[in-house]
Amino acid sequence: MGFSTIAIHAGQEPDPTTGAVSVPIYQTSTYAQEGLGKHKGFEYARTQNPTRLALERNIAALEGAQFGFAFASGMAGIDAVLRLVQAGEHVIVSDNTYGGTFRLFDRILKNYGIEFSFVDTSDAGNVEAAIRPNTRMLYVETPTNPVMIVTDLQAVADVAHSVGARVVCDNTFLSPYLQRPLEFGVDIVVHSTTKYLNGHSDGIGGVVVLNDEKDAESLAFIQNSVGAILSPFDSWLVLRGTKTLTLRMEQHDRAGRTVAAFLEEHPKVEKLYYPGSLSHRQHELAKRQQRGFGGMVAFDVGSLERARTVLESVQLCTLAESLGGVETLISHPATMTHASVLPETRSRLGITDGLVRISVGIEDVEDILADLDQALAKI
């Protein structure tokens, strides 16, 4: 079956009791049992819920995975995956990763004996050089947030697998419509469902998908034991979102390319970050690895003052955290998404005070361009 068919139907068979086409919201905390040890596959809602199960099957199918686990947030999903690593073991991480991921790894998990090395994973040689005898996981974000560095997933997976390390990829920026990391040797894929999978800026969630049965058993145990599960209503919202994922991602991609081309030629823009641009040093890799380039665009206007002018002058674009919604969102990574990253590290990664990030929505692209143009004119 094609992607759109899977998005609409996988895990979403008509309800056997009523025939409801939309998966019902099973808003229950527990389930009646016919007798001791006799139930219909559901015992307690932290452990299983039919709405959440439908979503987990849906996203797993979209990524080409066998198993899926939905969590209360993307960060809860990432935290669950890192629990596959033990104290005293080592994880290699893309250095330009999301600020919340960096904060979890550097400020919390390292206190429990997990070792982290943050490297530029766009060069597989850096990954190989960072390997230690106790390396057990490679955690990659591609394209990276916010400067859009692309990692060759097959190349780094080959390096990690040579020493028996799992490879994890955060695929939030592209969604499974534009990139399917498992096809390039990745073992585990994580998403913030808050973003493109939901697509409507009205729910927080996360999902983890994979094929390894042993790791899936571990994640099921972690999900149930820790209890950071996605609620039935939020699961239903994401199921609603994935039905239109193809249509939305195609429009995000078209609009993203148009906005990027406009910004690259604008005299007030000093630098553009977008893999769809021919000037991006990894454009060809992005073309091979991705189905498109998406709606995430970053650009540098040179200073905090100039960035502030743009951010406070937009009228259609919304100044806000997050991304992936139908509306265009604009943000300032240095003070918002990456505020927890040390200033010197931000500077080295290119996350300057003049950097602005746009999540291009699905409005009429002419209106987005007009809004950016009038805001940039005020610099």
Distance CA 375, CA 7 (A): 37
pTM greater than the 0.75 cutoff: yes
Distance CA 369, CA 94 (A): 32
Distance CA 294, CA 3 (A): 17
**171, 174, 177, 240: which is closest to 203 by C-alpha?**
240
Looking at residue 347, its pLDDT comes to 85
Q: SS3 of 207, please?
A: strand
The pair of structure tokens assigned to 5 is 């068919």
Distant-in-sequence, close-in-space partners of 162: CB < 8 Å, separation ≥ 6: none
Domains detected in the chain: 3-242 (3.40.640.10), 245-376 (3.90.1150.10)
Residue 104 binned pLDDT confidence (cut-offs 50, 70, 90): very high
The chain-wide mean pLDDT, for the chain, equals: 96
Helices of type H across the chain: 3-9, 50-63, 74-82, 99-103, 124-130, 153-161, 175-178, 213-226, 232-242, 245-265, 283-289, 304-313, 343-349, 365-376
Structure confidence by residue, pLDDT tens digits, 288-310: 999 999 999 999 999 999 999 99
Looking at residue 349, its pLDDT comes to 86
Q: Which residues are catalytic?
A: 46, 98, 170, 195
Name the β-bridge partners of 365: none
Distance CA 56, CA 223 (A): 12
Contact 208, 77 (CB under 8 A): yes
Distance CA 150, CA 143 (A): 5
The pair of structure tokens assigned to 173 is 């920026």
The share of the chain scoring above pLDDT 90, in percent, equals 91
Average pLDDT over residues 265-276: 98
Amino acid of residue 324: G
Residue 335 binned pLDDT confidence (cut-offs 50, 70, 90): very high
Structure confidence by residue, pLDDT tens digits, 67-86: 999 999 999 999 999 999 99
Contact 77, 121 (CB under 8 A): no
Read out DSSP for 130-194?
A: H--TTEEEEEEESS-TTT-----HHHHHHHHHTTT-EEEEE-TTTHHHH--GGGGT-SEEEEETT
Distant-in-sequence, close-in-space partners of 174: CB < 8 Å, separation ≥ 6: 143, 196, 290, 292, 294
